[in-house]
Amino acid sequence: MMLSSFSLKIAFIYFIFSSIVWAEIPVKNYSKKALAYHDTVQGVYAKLRQELSEINIGAQKPSFNGSVLVAHKGKLIFADSYGVSNRSIGLKNTLDTPTQIASITKTFTGTSILWLAERGFLDIKDPVQKYLWEFPYANITIENLLSHRSGLQDYIKYSFSYWNSNDPMYNSELLSLLSKKKFRLLFTPGAKFDYCNTNYAVLGLLIERISGTSYKNFLTRYIFNPIGMENSFVYDPAEEFQGLYARSYKSNFSDFPNTHQDGVYADKGIFTTVNDLFKWDRALHNHEFLKEESLEEAFTPRSSWSVKKNYGLGWRIKCYPNGEKYVYHTGWWHGYQGIFSRYIKDDFTIIILSNRYISGISDNAEEMYNLAQKHLNLTPMG
């Protein structure tokens, strides 16, 4: 879709205005606390730590590649790494090895949108077109995108039919494709839940349009650096990265090749570590990044049915008959898999990141919580 000369002028004026306003917002320095362990030498934590170390992650611990972190009330109970991050040079995984967290990235994207809303840059009830005029669906709101209730089709399923190059496709090019093809909606926006990566790719563009900076720079400036997430970054396949990040492997240890879809970000794309994710967990728990009311909004289920398929604003949610719930997000991209689980009431956190394709990680997280519940008298889930 070609924009008129007038539209281009308006776009330029909006960009300049948003950049000037944005420059006036100071970067908050969050607390950069050193990671601290519970006393695991004796007592209840020692027993729990031992039992956690015996869990077969993904039902195949001898060949599990990745890292695990378990914490209670802001202190580590268990943290360990397994396998290799780069098999070709024999490099082992560590707690500080950056690993692609795939869809766990959505917790950062959703939280960033709510951060902008708190500061008056947007309202989640606004139509997306208010900020992205190229977006061809007038009745889809920001909240629809956040909660996967937009009706958009998932680019993961159709982009191979329209992108004939091995070069990366970025979010701006995905938006151009949406604008040109205007794929039919699967349902009326707001009518039901359907998990769709396109939603968060568009939210990434929304962050860029409103902030006047790239998604990568936004996260680095307003989240990674202030929180002290020193081993975290947004991946760009066009950039040559020399760091010792975890490579992606199939179950037989062959490499997962990149595709054009690796260029799309905000639905995925963050590389981070279990230690850095724990810092993110602490910043959220201490309301350093979002107010309590905004977090409560994010953790409120948008569907009135299904325990296992509920979703808030950037977070998956499990609700139980006894009224308890926990928030989490899973991630899967190529050989990378992970889960970031947060039991809010008991301030209990479980993080598992893997760089080799396995199954059963979500079950492992629940198994870990059940062990902790037995030893620490945590809230029963059920």
Mean pLDDT throughout 1-18?
Answer: 46
Domain limits of the chain? 5-104+215-376
Q: Report the C-alpha gap between 64 and 351 in whole angstroms.
A: 14
The number of residues making up the chain comes to 382
The sheet that has 75-82: what strands, in order across it?
A: 75-82, 66-72, 348-354, 336-343, 325-333, 316-319, 310-311
Which pLDDT score, from 0 to 100, does residue 205 have? Answer: 98
At 26-59, the pLDDT tens digits run 677 666 666 766 666 557 888 888 888 888 775 5
pLDDT tier for residue 238 given thresholds of 50, 70 and 90 = confident
Q: How many CB atoms lie within 10 A of CB 158?
A: 14
Cβ pair 307, 319 in contact under 8 A: yes
Residue 1: is its pLDDT beyond 50?
Answer: no
Q: Any residues with CB less than 8 A from the CB of 293 and at least 6 apart, and which?
A: none
In percent, the amount of the chain with pLDDT more than 90 equals: 64
Q: Any residues with CB less than 8 A from the CB of 84 and at least 6 apart, and which?
A: 65, 90, 91, 92, 93
Per DSSP, the residues of 161-199 read GT--SSSPPPHHHHHHHHHHH-PPPSS-TTSS----HHH
**Mean pLDDT value across the chain:** 88
Residue 186: is its pLDDT beyond 90?
Answer: yes
Mean pLDDT throughout 284-310?
Answer: 88
Which pLDDT score, from 0 to 100, does residue 142 have? Answer: 99
Domain 5-104+215-376: give its CATH architecture: 3-Layer(aba) Sandwich (3.40)
Residue 64: is its pLDDT beyond 80?
Answer: yes
Q: Which of these, 126, 217, 208, 135, lies nearest to 174 by C-alpha position?
A: 135
Q: Any residues with CB less than 8 A from the CB of 67 and at least 6 apart, and which?
A: 79, 80, 81, 82, 93, 94, 95, 97, 99, 273, 274, 351, 352, 353
Look up the pTM and report it.
0.91
Q: How many CB atoms lie within 10 A of CB 37?
A: 14
Residue 295: is its pLDDT beyond 90?
Answer: yes
Amino acid at position 340, single letter: F
Distance of CA 296 to CAs 104, 114, 145, 149, 313, Å?
19, 11, 18, 19, 10
Mean pLDDT throughout 220-249?
Answer: 90
At 346-378, the pLDDT tens digits run 999 999 999 998 888 888 898 999 999 989 988
